[in-house]
Structure 1
Amino acid sequence: MRRYITALMLACCIGGYGQEKKQATFVPPFDFPLTLSGNFGEIRSNHFHGGLDFKTGGVIGKPVLALADGYISRIRVTNGSGYVLDVCYHNGYSTINRHLSGFVSPIAERVEKLQYEEENWEVEIVPEPGEYPVKGGQQIAWSGNTGYSFGPHLHLDVFETESGDYIDPMPFFQSKIKDTRAPKADGILFFPQPGKGVVDGKQENKTILPNSERPVEAWGVIGLGIKAYDYMDGVSNHYGVYSVVLTVDGNEIFRSTVDRFSQEENRMINSWTYGQYMKSFIDPGNTLRLLKASNDHRGLVTIDEERDYQFLYTLKDAFGNTSNYRFTVRGRKQPIEPLNHREKYYFIWNKTNYLQEPGLSLVIPKGMLYDDVPLNYQMKADSGAVAFTYQLNDKTVPLHAACELRIGLRRKPVADTTKYYVARITPKGGKYSVGGKYEDGYMKAAIKELGTYTVAIDTIPPEIIPVNKNQWGRNGKIVYRLKDQGTGIASYRGTIDGKYALFGRPNMVKSYWECVLDPKHVKKGGKHTVEFTVTDGCGNETVARESFVW
């Protein structure tokens, strides 16, 4: 993704970038009043929400318009974002339009042709800059609900061409959207720093309600966090908060302004947030630019006087609507237990860290941790297991990028080593695959968080379930539901009467794969045979054959 964005920006520069981007204006993506279901920078799993989600009245098929003069720079069909169209504009900005239901002609025909040529639902086209020029207000696609989407909408990412940063598109459309509602806080969270701080007699996180009148007693070094959402007129959705400022005794301590970030910074959301709470201090390994500590202690606060400290949170949205939340922290001397940790299991954020145990090796390169981690490491043996279970830490610790984990096999009940995989054990004891490859007695996998891992076996092929088979001919659509208990669906291929059939997964939220019957590829008026082959992540395969009349 990052390589593509860099290439796109260079192409856009060649294609006419150079006008003063601050003067840039965009026409709206739709010709009807704009309302949002999501805003820029909302907290999502492992990433920021990169753009604006425009509502489309609960339906698909609304014309999506070009925002200015430019050209189409990339065309894709993907499982995650559905039908996707990228546009490079001459005013210094580029956009990605996601979750479309389809493209306009002649792009739609070109995409379908490529899908059949490559025998793949997922395809990508990078046209020459002059191939598909667009004018502001010109239709470029149809809105949809494809990919990982929970309802019909248009997701619009806007990039600054020069830097490649995701930027908040709101300023371009602010005059078209009504918002007089200020953000609201749901909770405030105290983070006594391990071995350095205490809150209400305990060295564990503590939550209070906003505007709580009872002082919180604390001593030593503490951090703060806030759970808050923004709201807009006429809709029930909630959104991310544009600006959070924390002051103590009238002095600014911390400020977040969610206006831009780079692809490289995206996973740093794991360092800034704690669940849905936004931390008002910065971990030492977090370089996220939208965070600013105004003191010399990364936004952490030292309570070292026996007096009342006056805290104030000021929340603001992109329209300037503002709310304030005040609370008191009472300095009271309390004993602070030093942090006890085993040196061998203490990871340091600005060094390369190694963990070598019987049957386990883990390498965490420098730059992968946001803060020091005292691991709560345990090894668990199960007499029937193919490998030990390794608890790297009891609480999940996100890593900035994938790191190599190797787990040794204690026994090999299955001779075929492709049937083994590294499994992450969830807090409730469930398993999910993180993949992996067998190598010299070990399973090697890339992990993105410190948690609990083991090795599991998957010899069970996927399940293929025809959906409303007796309606296929009438509906002109073949639909299957797929299930796999172990490593998940890795690949699939369909044929009708022995010829390739274009099956896709139009919506990732639903486990349906479908093929829309097309007389250009399937002769209408007769009995046909469909064959559908599905393979999971360990190479287990299932083939389903059905007959239907169309």
Structure 2
Amino acid sequence: MRFFLLLSFLYAPIYAQDVYPKDFFRSPLDIPLQLSGNFGELRSNHFHAGFDFRTQQKEGFNVYASGDGYVSRIKISPYGYGKAIYIDHPNGFTTVYGHLKMGSAAIEKYIQENQYKQESFEVELFPKPGEISVLKGDVIAISGNTGGSEGPHLHFEIRDTKSEKIINPLFFGFDKIILDNKKPVLQTLLVYPIDANSEVNTVKTPLMVDVRLMEDGTYLAEKITAFGRVGFGISAYDQCDYSPGKNGVYKVENFVNGQLSYGYEFNTFAFDESRYINALIDYPRFRKTGQRVQRLFRKQPTDFSLIKTDETQGAILVEPNMNKISRLEISDFYGNNIVINIPIEYAMPTATAEPEIKPAGYLVSAIKDANLEKGNFSVFIPAKTFYEDVYMNFDVDGNVMTFGNDDIPVHTNFSVSIEDKTIPESEREKTFIASVSGSRLVYNSTKYKNGKFTCYTKNLGGFKLAKDNDAPKITSPKKIEGKTIKDGNLSFVISDALSGIKEYKGYLNGHWVLFEYDYKSRRITHWFSTDDFAVDGRNELKLVVTDNVGNSAIFETYFFRSQTP
């Protein structure tokens, strides 16, 4: 029985990979597929959830349904995926298409009808099964550059419809379309002394390790002399054939004396796990240098499902009379890999080691709630806000409270509260808790109750009460008042110096009309159509822009338009 269970465990990953259909989905584009981002790639505060397909640095390519199904969700936002379409398929999977310029004619009509019904550019729609059915190969959209996109491309995902877990598209036959015969590339290898009394090569700070290529194709690292618990970190990338992009690596494993110590591979993960990237990487190093080094150890366990480790959590204990060999393997989905062998030898701790410096601040547990109070300031930290126990500075200087710094990764929101009963009721709506960054104040959504202002945030640092009495600004790139508009659109720039834009509304001849918002350029644009309430002759335009604390700016003008051919 024990033998059968062992075989079941060993073969489970292979079987799981075989259940994915290999020929159900087609390419969502009809141009050669080149990746500018792959599944699991390390991004700011998240793992990349799909593929980014290059679109030759331009918008306007047809986007096709990858399989039969129906449009189950449409989300239009200035942020994130921008304009995105979700298709549920009868085989239990959902495909996602993001950063679109617009939907196909029928889908775009459905979107705009609902935008006018809700009087909002931002909408999230859930069509019923059969309401917008599609066949494999139908054009569903035009590629674009909307939302948080940094350049024209198509974001593409495959999810499990029921669990909503994201799955690597290479399991679905895309490995036959996107070719990769290149090995991953190791950029940096680091060794870390994990504990305060650990040493590596006589020092207590992380060190870069040199490696050299051997005749058999493996790499040999310089010998590590150490005392106590040590661990490794890497930065690496992978490339596909015919594509210049440096993408993330698929699989990393570290074996110590032949036994798996720590590893992960990007097959599938849940959305609420994505922020665990900040536990995987050397976060302080990233904040200081911009380099994302993936640590192959952790000081405390987390709930991140991709990590596979033994009881050591990837830490290597170096003791007298016990030398070790670490074998690091970095692989792509196609089996191309590099192997780095790292000899580790025990060394006595140096007699000249500096005395241990006791950490300052308050010890905050990673697994227990904590509450800190000082004067009229308080911070509540729920369990699992941090990835490991951490000493946090908590100080009040005048009207500014400081809690932690941006070298410490935060997983979930904690709350900041400031009590001030002296602020009159007439000013409370304009008052909020601001994050302090030098001389800059950053708005946090704030609630007031019983004399106390409270916000929820993942940002550490300084906090203070601030007030915003200034209305947003509305500017027109060109003068339109009294002019005859021949262009196909009207465009304005909207901005707010402190609390930020909450909403905007445009009215043409007294009717709400759609203005699309691009936060990257701070521009709102109305595209003229035959049914947008514009008339031949004089047209009255009104814009109302409101910030997050209720200040509003109103812009009114008139223009002439001739729609007669």
The one-letter amino acid of 1:192's match is P
Count the aligned residue pairs.
522
The one-letter amino acid of 2:293's match is Y
Question: Which residue in the other structure is 1:290 paired with?
Answer: 306
Task: Name the stretch that deviates more: 194-203 or 407-416.
Answer: 407-416
Question: Which residue in the other structure is 1:4 paired with?
Answer: none
Contact 2:190 2:232 in 1 (8 A): yes
TM-score of the superposed pair, with normalisation by structure 1: 0.87
Q: Is 2:537 the counterpart of 1:521?
A: no
CA-to-partner distance for each residue in 1:179-212, whole Å, 9 max, x for gaps?
Answer: 2222212222333334342334443444445559
Question: Which residue in the other structure is 1:108 paired with?
Answer: 108
Q: Match of 2:410, SS?
A: strand
Q: Is 2:289 the counterpart of 1:278?
A: no
- Structure 2 gaps of 5+ residues are 1-17, 213-219, 287-291
Q: Match of 1:238, SS?
A: coil
Cα separation, 1, equivalents of 2:412 and 2:499: 21
CA-to-partner distance for each residue in 1:438-474, whole Å, 9 max, x for gaps?
Answer: 3333320001244332222222222222123459923
Q: What's the CA shift for 1:281?
A: 1.5
CA-to-partner distance for each residue in 1:216-271, whole Å, 9 max, x for gaps?
Answer: 54321223221112122222221111011123344432111011111221222221
Question: Which residue in the other structure is 1:98 paired with?
Answer: 98
Q: Match of 1:231, SS?
A: coil
Question: Which residue in the other structure is 2:59 paired with?
Answer: 60
Question: Which residue in the other structure is 2:358 paired with?
Answer: 340
Distance 1:216 1:357, change over 3 A: farther
Cα separation, 1, equivalents of 2:426 and 2:204: 50
Cα separation, 1, equivalents of 2:317 and 2:249: 26
Contact 2:62 2:142 in 1 (8 A): yes
Cα separation, 1, equivalents of 2:452 and 2:179: 58
Task: Name the stretch that deviates more: 299-308 or 283-292.
Answer: 299-308
The one-letter amino acid of 2:186's match is A
Question: Which residue in the other structure is 1:223 paired with?
Answer: 231
Question: Which residue in the other structure is 2:329 paired with?
Answer: 314
Q: What's the CA shift for 1:46?
A: 1.8
Q: What's the CA shift for 1:298?
A: 0.7
Question: Which residue in the other structure is 1:400 paired with?
Answer: 411
Task: Name the stretch that deviates more: 484-493 or 305-314.
Answer: 305-314
Question: Which residue in the other structure is 1:491 paired with?
Answer: 503
Q: Match of 1:116, SS?
A: helix
CA-to-partner distance for each residue in 1:286-335, whole Å, 9 max, x for gaps?
Answer: 22111111x32111111223776443432111222212334454432225
The one-letter amino acid of 1:448's match is K
The one-letter amino acid of 2:188's match is G
Cα separation, 2, equivalents of 1:453 and 1:90: 50
Contact 1:218 1:303 in 2 (8 A): yes
Cα separation, 2, equivalents of 1:98 and 1:85: 7
Distance 1:129 1:374, change over 3 A: same
Q: Is 2:29 the counterpart of 1:30?
A: yes
Cα separation, 2, equivalents of 1:125 and 1:398: 34
Question: Which residue in the other structure is 1:460 paired with?
Answer: 470
Q: Match of 2:70, SS?
A: strand
CA-to-partner distance for each residue in 1:92-149, whole Å, 9 max, x for gaps?
Answer: 2111211111122322212111111211101222122122222222222222211111
Question: Which residue in the other structure is 1:184 paired with?
Answer: 185
Q: Match of 2:485, SS?
A: helix
Contact 2:210 2:221 in 1 (8 A): no
Q: Is 2:327 the counterpart of 1:305?
A: no
Q: Is 2:494 the counterpart of 1:482?
A: yes
Cα separation, 1, equivalents of 2:206 and 2:559: 61
CA-to-partner distance for each residue in 1:9-33, whole Å, 9 max, x for gaps?
Answer: xxxxxxxxxx964566311112222
The one-letter amino acid of 2:117's match is E
Contact 2:100 2:144 in 1 (8 A): yes
Distance 1:443 1:310, change over 3 A: same
Contact 1:196 1:336 in 2 (8 A): no
Q: What's the CA shift for 1:336?
A: 7.7
Contact 1:191 1:224 in 2 (8 A): yes
Q: What's the CA shift for 1:490?
A: 0.9
Contact 2:211 2:222 in 1 (8 A): no
CA-to-partner distance for each residue in 1:395-426, whole Å, 9 max, x for gaps?
Answer: 44333322222123496499501222222234
* Equivalent of 2:376 in 314, 337, 359: 359
Cα separation, 1, equivalents of 2:266 and 2:458: 24
The one-letter amino acid of 1:499's match is H
CA-to-partner distance for each residue in 1:338-368, whole Å, 9 max, x for gaps?
Answer: 56246x8111112111212222222222233
Cα separation, 2, equivalents of 1:42 and 1:230: 10
Contact 1:50 1:166 in 2 (8 A): yes
Cα separation, 1, equivalents of 2:198 and 2:204: 7
Cα separation, 2, equivalents of 1:412 and 1:302: 57
Q: Match of 1:398, SS?
A: coil
Question: Which residue in the other structure is 1:175 paired with?
Answer: 176
Q: What's the CA shift for 1:489?
A: 0.9
Q: How does 1:16-95 map to 2 (within 5 A)?
A: 21-22=20-21, 25-80=24-79, 81-95=81-95
Q: Match of 1:271, SS?
A: helix
Contact 2:472 2:552 in 1 (8 A): yes
Distance 1:536 1:162, change over 3 A: closer
Distance 1:404 1:243, change over 3 A: same
Q: What's the CA shift for 1:477?
A: 1.3
- Structure 1 gaps of 5+ residues are 1-18, 382-386
Contact 2:22 2:171 in 1 (8 A): no
Cα separation, 2, equivalents of 1:207 and 1:542: 55
Contact 1:420 1:438 in 2 (8 A): no
Distance 1:425 1:248, change over 3 A: farther
Q: Match of 1:109, SS?
A: helix
Contact 1:63 1:142 in 2 (8 A): yes
Distance 1:350 1:538, change over 3 A: same
The one-letter amino acid of 1:392's match is F
Q: Match of 1:235, SS?
A: coil
Q: What's the CA shift for 1:475?
A: 2.3
Task: Name the stretch that deviates more: 443-452 or 323-332.
Answer: 323-332
Q: How does 1:104-253 map to 2 (within 5 A)?
A: 104-172=104-172, 173-208=174-209, 211=212, 214-253=222-261
